Amino acid sequence: MKKALTIAGSDSGGGAGIQADLKTFQELEVFGMSALTAVTAQNTLGVHAVYPMSAEAVIKQIEAIGEDIGADAVKTGMLFNAEIIEAVAAQLKFYGWENLVVDPVMIAKGGASLLQMEAISALKKYLLPRSKVITPNIPEAEVLTGMVIQSIQDKQDAAKRLHDYGVKNVVIKGGHDENESESTDVLFDGKEFFTFTSQRIETKNTHGTGCTFSAVITAELAKGAAVYESVLKAKDFIQAAIEDQLGIGQGHGPTNHWAYRKRNIARELTRL
Ligand SMILES: Nc1ncnc2c1ncn2[C@@H]1O[C@H](COP(=O)(O)OP(=O)(O)OP(=O)(O)O)[C@@H](O)[C@H]1O
Ligand SMILES: Cc1ncc(CO)c(N)n1
C-alpha cells in the first residue's frame, strides 16, 4: 500500500487541515500519516485560536515516520512560522522526499492568519525549490509573486514567475476569482500551460477545498501518477465534494470527502 504524509495544522472542525488530508488519502486508498504543525480551535464560523507546535516537536514527528515507515509522497499545509518551515525543509532533504506538494496556506477563509507574514521569505527560500507541485489560491499567488491576478493570462504569468523560484509544477487555483459561472485552475509544468475548468457551484460551503485538492494530488503522486493526471483527478474530486452538500455548521461548512467515491459507485452500478 502506498503511503502519504501530511505536515499541516489540525482543524478541530474536521473540514480542512490534517483532517481533510487524512480523509482524502483514505478515500483514494493511500495510507495516511500526519505531522502536526499547529492545533487550531476552529469551526465553520472561523479560527478561534492557534497553538503552534515547537519546531522540535515537528521534527520528532517527521523523524518517527522517516526512521520507520517512509512516505511515497508528502504534502505541506499550514506551517505557521519560519522556524517550522526551515525544520520541515531540512527533514525533507534528509529523507530525500521529492514527491512534495506544497500548499502555501496563508489565511483561512474567515481572515485568520495561518502563516506569519515574516515567514513568506523562508517559504520561498527553503521550501519552494524542493517542491514538485505548489498549489496557491489567487491571494497566496499574489503574495508570493507581488502581482495582481484577475485573468487567466495573469494566472499564467504568475505561474511562470513561481516556476522561476524553482518550483517544477505550479497550479494556481481559481476558487477566489471573479468569474461567477466557472472556476478555472491553471497548471504550468515549465513548458506548457493546462487549464482545468468546472462549473462554479453557488455555495458558502467551501471550507477546506484547497487542502482537499492538494491532498488528492499528493495521494495520486504517491500511487505513481503523473502531475497532469493528479491535478485532473483533484479537480474532479473537489467538484464532487463541493456539489454533494453536507450542510454542516452555521458558517462556511466542509465539503463531502466521500462524494467522489459515492458518485463512482453509483456510476458503476448504473453501468452494470
Ligand atoms: N464554488 C466553487 N465551485 C467549483 N469549484 C470550486 C469552488 N470554489 C473552489 N473551487 C475549486 O476548489 C479548488 C480549491 O480552490 P480554492 O481557490 O477555493 O482553494 P483555497 O482558497 O486554498 O481553499 P481553502 O483555503 O478553503 O482550503 C480549486 O480546484 C477550485 O477551482
Ligand atoms: C488547519 C488549517 N489548515 C488549512 C486551512 C485552510 O483552509 C485551515 N482553515 N485550517
Q: What pLDDT was estimated at residue 48?
A: 95
- Helix 152-164 vs helix 138-145: angle between axes, to the nearest 10 degrees? 50
Note whether 42 and 108 are within 8 A (CB): yes
Question: Do the Cβ atoms of 49 and 40 come closer than 8 Å?
Answer: yes
Strands 73-76 and 169-172: unpaired
Span 96-119, mean pLDDT?
A: 91
Instruction: Give the integer Cα–Cα distance in Å for 220 and 231.
Output: 9
Protein residues whose CB sits closer than 6 Å to any atom of ligand 1: 16, 109, 137, 173-176, 183, 185, 198, 200-201, 203, 206-211, 213, 235, 238-239, 242
What is the tally of structural domains in the chain? 1
pLDDT band at 154 (very low <50, low <70, confident <90, very high): very high
Q: Report the atom number in ligand 2 closest to the C-alpha of 18.
A: 1
pLDDT of 272 reads 82
Whether the pLDDT of residue 108 is over 90: the answer is no
Query: Domain residues for 198?
Result: 3-271
pLDDT of residue 220 exceeding 90, the answer is yes
Counting ligand 2 atoms within 8 A of each CB, the residue from 11, 37, 106 with the most, and so the one to mutate, is 11
Q: What is the pLDDT of residue 258?
A: 97
Q: What is the mean pLDDT of residues 189-216?
A: 97
**ipTM of predicted complex:** 0.98
Q: Which CATH number belongs to the domain containing residue 132 in this structure?
A: 3.40.1190.20
pLDDT at 90: 98
Q: Please, are residues 265 and 27 in contact by the beta-carbon 8 Å criterion?
A: no
- pLDDT confidence of residue 188: 98
Give tens-digit pLDDT for 50-73: 999 999 999 999 999 999 999 999
Ligand 2 midpoint to CA 271 (Å): 38
| Mean pLDDT on 24-28 | 98
Average pLDDT in the chain: 96
For residue 42, is pLDDT > 90?
A: yes
Output the pLDDT for position 179. Answer: 84
pLDDT average, residue stretch 108-120: 87
Burial class of residue 191 (count of CB atoms within 10 Å of its CB; 0-12, 13-18, 19+): exposed
Place of cell 464560523: 45
- Mean per-residue pLDDT for 213-241? 98
In terms of DSSP bridges, do strands 100-102 and 193-199 run parallel, antiparallel, or are they unpaired? unpaired
User: Which whole number is the average pLDDT over 145-161?
Assistant: 95
Q: Is pLDDT above 90 for 136?
A: yes
What average pLDDT does range 206-229 have in this prediction?
98
Q: In this model, does residue 99 exceed pLDDT 90?
A: yes
Residue 15 has pLDDT above 90, yes or no: yes
SS (H, E, C) 137-204: CHHHHHHHHCCCCCCHHHHHHHHHHHHHCCCCEEEECCCCCCCCCEEEEEEECCCCEEEEEEECCCCC
Specify the pTM. Answer: 0.97
* Rounded Cα distance, 90 and 213, in Å: 25
Which ligand 2 atom is the nearest neighbour of the CA of 208? 7
pLDDT given for residue 69 in this prediction: 98
Q: Answer with the residue of higher pLDDT: 55 or 117.
A: 55
pLDDT at 180: 86
